[in-house]
């Protein structure tokens, strides 16, 4: 039992973050591990907020989040569709909380390296699947190629290109 606990401590963080990336191919399931990350951040903040805020990378994360989120909040005053705008702005802090947990859990070099390998492997799979879809007319799961844009595992959405672009810096690291 102790070895399982040790394994979870050593690998749970990068596996949780990797699961967010894996579940991006679904429409909403990526929110489940993101919820776990956010709840973990609330727990960490309740237990040791001074230690967390003392870290320079956490303060930078807070600053960057404020620079992104505050204009969204201010733009609510002139929103054409307030309800739709609120549905984006109000849940947005989950990304801040997820980032806090991410920085906390991936503090060790080994965890970051394992996450990097997992993300590179996943992006490689997405790319190979897209090439297969282009060449054969369907992807590994049987989703069709529409002749214009590849969507791979993201079928029926066309999010493959933007997702690959977002993760390109990780891939090229």
Q: In the prediction, which pLDDT does 2 show? A: 78
Q: Would the pTM of this model clear 0.85, i.e. be above it?
A: no
Give the chain's mean pLDDT.
91
Asked if pLDDT for residue 97 goes beyond 90, the answer is: yes
Band the pLDDT of 100: cuts 50, 70, 90.
very high
Asked if pLDDT for residue 13 goes beyond 90, the answer is: no
More confident of the two residues 67 and 8: 67
Percent of the chain clearing pLDDT 70 (strictly above): 99
Q: In the prediction, which pLDDT does 9 show? A: 74
- The C-alpha atoms of residue 52 and residue 36 are separated, in whole angstroms, by 18
């Amino acid at each position: 039992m102790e070895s399982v606990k040790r394994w979870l401590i050593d690998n749970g963080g990068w596996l949780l973050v990797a699961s967010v990336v894996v579940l991006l191919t679904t429409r909403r399931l990526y929110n489940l591990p993101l919820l776990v990350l956010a709840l973990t951040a609330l727990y960490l903040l309740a237990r040791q907020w001074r230690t967390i805020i003392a870290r320079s990378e956490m303060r930078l994360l807070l600053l960057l989040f404020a620079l992104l989120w505050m204009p969204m909040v201010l733009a609510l005053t002139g929103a054409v569709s307030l309800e739709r705008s609120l549905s984006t702005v109000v849940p947005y802090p989950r990304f801040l909380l997820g980032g806090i947990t991410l920085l906390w859990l991936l503090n060790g070099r080994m965890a970051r390296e394992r996450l990097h390998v997992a993300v590179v492997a996943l992006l490689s799979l997405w790319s190979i699947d897209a090439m297969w879809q282009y060449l054969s007319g369907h992807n590994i799961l049987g989703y069709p190629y529409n002749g214009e844009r590849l969507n791979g595992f993201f079928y029926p959405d066309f999010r493959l290109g933007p997702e690959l672009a977002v993760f390109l810096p990780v891939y090229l690291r």
